[in-house]
Structure 1
Amino acid sequence: MAFGWIDEQARARRRAGLVRTLRPRAADSPLLDLASNDYLGLARHSETTGAAAEAARVWGGGSTGSRLVTGTTELHGDLERELAEFCGFESALVFSSGYAANLAAVTALAPHGSLIVSDAGNHASLIDGCRLARGTTQVVAHADPQATRKALDTHRGPAVAVSDTVFSVDGDAAPLAELASVCREFDAGLILDDAHGLGVLGAGGRGAAHAAGLAGAPDVVVTVTLSKSLGSQGGAVLGPARVIDHLVNVARTFIFDTGLAPAAAGAALAALRLLRREPERAQRARAVAAALYARLTAEGHEAVRPDAAVVSVRAPSPELALRWAADCRSAGLAVGCFRPPSVPDGISRLRLTARADLTDEQVGRAVRVIGETRP
């Protein structure tokens, strides 16, 4: 029978407690949200939604084609210029998703004969980029610049190191300055996924690369998402102008994909401008994350100290993590639940995201619910 193997895989997932299901949310959900990635609370801000609606009215519901045909509007150009300037880079290129941006950056900058050194904790989009690239990939120990040095020392020829800036599972930060120093010893490039850093880290939320003094460096390329701190959808690659021009000409997820919808570009641009005016939102998101961590650990939970806005709480097993998240939901709190294969170490977690618009009372309520529902 065609696709018969699917049934056995489904049974195996059920036995392991790893079945995933979709749960459509209502527009007016009463749940306290610590599950989304809306770090700055801008997804529903009137300026963000108003800009999205206006862009749709002016440019239409979709971009109508690939970026090289009809899919580039003036909004896309404005967003790319302002995003590059805000983050401290020479140029930027917007994609339909952060996933597509990562695939483009890694595959276009790791040709045949090159070496890709990839952190063991990297996001799936970077992993898939490594798999699709023509270069050879070597996975190294998590957040270990010396392991990266050892890998680079085995290769003669073009090379890149690839890493998240803030890892999505535990919210821990990569040692960016040390990693960049190691790469420069071998004339290797550095590709950084700053999905969880933009809007949270750096001066006024300019990102982890900016905070590490790497923004605008000729050997550093950064990818970002527009769907987290900027409350919209899409992704972008930031870097030297010659790198961005290279992506325009060779990156398949740019050339052959429909351009980002104007509504998403307009929303992201409005959110970026709002962040410029209200840089304190970045500091507030970090403060909320620190408060969550302090109160959770004081209650005896095994949590990981956050470097940005993600707070991870260890769970006893995949099944109990799923039940814990469900019990939180029943008590009015939405939390993330990360289980294998989404976690590189096989340990299941509740994943909480701090938002700049959470009040101290809401933080206390979240900690109380997590404690009361603990398995």
Structure 2
Amino acid sequence: MICFMKPAFDQRIALALEERRQQGLNRQLTGLCGGNGSRFSAGEHAYLNFSSNDYLGLATDAELANAWKKGIDLLGNGSAASPLVTGFSSAHQALESRLCQWLGYSRAILFSSGFSANQAMLFALLQKGDLLLQDKLNHASLIEAGMLSPATMKRFKHNDVTHLKALIEPNALVVTEGVFSMDGDSAPLQAIEQCLPNSAWLAVDDAHGIGVLGEQGRGSCNQAGVKPQILVVTFGKAFGLSGAAILCDESTGDYLTQFARHHVYSTAMPPSLAYALTHAIDLIDTQQWRRDKLQELQACYHDQCASLEGYVETDSPIKPVLMGSSARALSVANALREQGFWLTAIRSPTVPVDGARLRITLTANHTVEHVTQLASALKRVLED
């Protein structure tokens, strides 16, 4: 009898998947109907959605939808090429100009995702011999890019400026998030900026702060009175759409146009999307009621949930409830789904092994009644 061994890739895939299942860390996709709103359905069941990053409620906004439709009518569907070929249109140019005017930079370089923007930034800027200092809890796109870059990367303890000072050297690049996606806390941007030598640069990924914090929603850096050399903003959260941009000075923008491979060699975002994003900035800039609504909901959530075990106070719409083990996080999330609340259990490797949590997010489309209902359900499940 002839025994055939599986090829190495088959074995590797099978073992990795089995290990994930045994650890209780397996993930799976669920097809949702209306998942970008405050309510959606999965199969025959309806849920209140507390897992969305649509902080300002723009993902379902009719005015923004009409702007995108108008963009399609004016500009067609796809961009059909990379930016340096024929993919850069007047709509892209207008979006870059509006971003610069709004955020106070001279250049904005567009990308199809925040992941691409972060990786392009580090791959393009860093060379062998450079020192890259990253907050320990930075997003996977930043940490992975730092590991793969030719620079020497060191990670400072989360939001620990004293530790950063012990590592800092001239000409270093310091990278932090403005608001951290799994903890909902903010970086001490003023203290970080003040500890940097004049020759060092600061880069801030403000994916979860832009639109939500600061004057007219200009983000974490505006709120802190800080202007980093590099500011990354993404459009898949508060903007309600998708894509990203790197904000910088003129010469850095020219440099990224030449050497940021994720920008140079990727098909540009659809011009209709760029058209809609320009309109989204206008909505974020002028509709303060959306941020006021979030403040009201956050105050309600604090009043209702501050006494809960695992509660973490934050100034952002991201409200983690620490569970500890992955098994407990999954159990509580599933129990809440049975009561009609969709919350995501965040587990390793996204967070530390003993740091599993529920990641609750509030949006301007929620109501005080929604938050009160969630709080009551949380109390019932956690007390069982």
Q: Following the alignment from structure 2 to structure 1, what is the Cα–Cα distance between the partners of residues 101 and 165?
A: 31
Indicate yes or no: 2:168 matched with 1:168.
no
User: In structure 2, what residue type is equivalent to 1:164?
Assistant: E
User: In structure 1, what residue type is equivalent to 2:379?
Assistant: G
| 1:244-323 equivalence runs, <5 A | 244-298=253-307, 300-323=308-331
Q: Following the alignment from structure 1 to structure 2, what is the Cα–Cα distance between the partners of residues 81 and 346?
A: 45
State the partner residue of 1:237.
246
State the partner residue of 1:103.
119
Name the stretch that deviates more: 307-316 or 14-23: 307-316
Structure showing greater Rg:
2
SS of alignment partner, residue 227 of structure 1: coil
Q: State the 1:330 CA deviation.
A: 2.4
Superposed structure 1 runs of 4+ greater than 4 Å apart? none
- Where do 5+ consecutive residues of structure 2 fail to align? 1-6, 35-39
CA gap of 1:148–1:316, structure 2 versus 1, over 3 A, is closer
The answer (yes or no) to whether the contact 2:326–2:354 under 8 Å persists in 1 is no
Q: Following the alignment from structure 2 to structure 1, what is the Cα–Cα distance between the partners of residues 89 and 298?
A: 37
Q: Following the alignment from structure 1 to structure 2, what is the Cα–Cα distance between the partners of residues 329 and 265?
A: 36
Q: Following the alignment from structure 1 to structure 2, what is the Cα–Cα distance between the partners of residues 144 and 270?
A: 38
State the partner residue of 2:79.
63
Name the stretch that deviates more: 187-196 or 326-335: 326-335
Q: State the 1:279 CA deviation.
A: 2.1
User: In structure 2, what residue type is equivalent to 1:301?
Assistant: E
Q: State the 1:368 CA deviation.
A: 1.6
What TM-score results when the alignment is normalised by the length of structure 1?
Answer: 0.93
User: In structure 2, what residue type is equivalent to 1:303?
Assistant: Y
SS of alignment partner, residue 60 of structure 2: coil
Name the stretch that deviates more: 118-127 or 54-63: 54-63
* Counterpart pick for 2:8 among 2, 15, 20: 2
Q: RMSD of the alignment, in Å?
A: 1.7
Calculate percent identity across the aligned residue pairs. Answer: 34
What TM-score results when the alignment is normalised by the length of structure 2?
Answer: 0.91
Q: Following the alignment from structure 1 to structure 2, what is the Cα–Cα distance between the partners of residues 264 and 327?
A: 38
* Counterpart pick for 1:226 among 235, 240, 243: 235
The answer (yes or no) to whether the contact 1:200–1:283 under 8 Å persists in 2 is no
- Where do 5+ consecutive residues of structure 1 fail to align? none
SS of alignment partner, residue 131 of structure 1: helix
* Counterpart pick for 2:192 among 179, 182, 186: 179
User: In structure 2, what residue type is equivalent to 1:12?
Assistant: E
Which whole-Å deviations, capped at 9, do the CAs of 1:217-236 have from their partners, x for residues lacking one? Answer: xx521101101000000011
Q: State the 1:186 CA deviation.
A: 5.2
User: In structure 2, what residue type is equivalent to 1:13?
Assistant: R
User: In structure 2, what residue type is equivalent to 1:213?
Assistant: G
State the partner residue of 1:191.
203
CA gap of 1:13–1:358, structure 2 versus 1, over 3 A, is same
Indicate yes or no: 2:339 matched with 1:339.
no
State the partner residue of 1:214.
226
State the partner residue of 1:35.
51
Q: Following the alignment from structure 2 to structure 1, what is the Cα–Cα distance between the partners of residues 85 and 299?
A: 46
Q: Following the alignment from structure 2 to structure 1, what is the Cα–Cα distance between the partners of residues 75 and 327?
A: 47
The answer (yes or no) to whether the contact 1:196–1:309 under 8 Å persists in 2 is no
The answer (yes or no) to whether the contact 1:96–1:259 under 8 Å persists in 2 is yes
Indicate yes or no: 2:133 matched with 1:126.
no
Q: Following the alignment from structure 2 to structure 1, what is the Cα–Cα distance between the partners of residues 374 and 157?
A: 34
Q: Following the alignment from structure 1 to structure 2, what is the Cα–Cα distance between the partners of residues 211 and 18?
A: 37
For these two proteins, the number of residue pairs brought into alignment is: 367
The answer (yes or no) to whether the contact 2:306–2:313 under 8 Å persists in 1 is no
State the partner residue of 1:349.
357
SS of alignment partner, residue 355 of structure 1: coil
Q: Following the alignment from structure 1 to structure 2, what is the Cα–Cα distance between the partners of residues 94 and 240?
A: 14
State the partner residue of 1:152.
168
The answer (yes or no) to whether the contact 1:63–1:72 under 8 Å persists in 2 is yes
CA gap of 1:277–1:242, structure 2 versus 1, over 3 A, is same
The answer (yes or no) to whether the contact 1:285–1:355 under 8 Å persists in 2 is yes
CA gap of 1:323–1:345, structure 2 versus 1, over 3 A, is closer
User: In structure 1, what residue type is equivalent to 2:139?
Assistant: H
The answer (yes or no) to whether the contact 1:172–1:306 under 8 Å persists in 2 is yes
Which whole-Å deviations, capped at 9, do the CAs of 1:173-225 have from their partners, x for residues lacking one? Answer: 11000111112x2521001000010011111211001111123xxx5211011
